Amino acid sequence: MILRQVFHTASCSYTYLLASGRGGEAVLVDPVLDDIDRYVSLLDEFGLRLVRAVDTHLHADRFSGLGAVADRTGCTTAMSERTACEIVALRLADGEAITLDGLSLRVLHTPGHTPDSMCLLLNDLLFTGDTLLIGGTGRTDLPGGDAAAQYESLFGRLLRLPEATRVYPAHDYRGRTFSTIGEERRLNPRLQVRSRAEYVALMDALKLPKPKLMDEALPANLGRFPRPMQPTVGGQR
CB of 115 to Fe ion, least distance (A): 12
Among 34, 55, 48, CA closest to 221: 55
- Contact segment (CB under 5 A) with Fe ion among 67-75, 122-130, 180-188, 195-203 equals 122-130
Asked whether position 130 contacts Fe ion by CB under 5 A, the answer is: yes
Q: Which is nearer to Fe ion, 92 or 170 (CB)?
A: 170
CA 175 to chain centre: 17
Residue 169 pairs in a beta bridge with 129
Three-state secondary structure call for residue 150:
helix
Which of the ranges 22-30, 97-105, 129-137, 157-165 carries the binding residues for Fe ion, by CB under 5 A?
129-137
| Minimum distance from residue 89 beta carbon to Fe ion (Å) | 21
Task: Output the CA angle 75-117-72, nearest 5 degrees.
Answer: 20
Total of chain residues touching Fe ion, rule CB under 5 A: 1
Distance separating alpha carbons of residues 42 and 165, to the nearest angstrom? 26
- Our finding on whether 172 is near Fe ion (CB under 5 A) is no
Tell me if 96 contacts Fe ion by CB under 5 A: no
Give the residue with the Cβ less far from Fe ion, 43 or 118. 118
Closer residue to Fe ion in complex, CB, 116/130:
130
Closest chain position to Fe ion (CB): 130
Rounded CA separation 171/8 (Å): 9
* SS3 (DSSP) at 22: coil
Map residue 201 onto helix, strand or coil.
Answer: helix
Residues of the shown chain interacting with Fe ion in the complex, contacts defined by CB under 5 A:
130
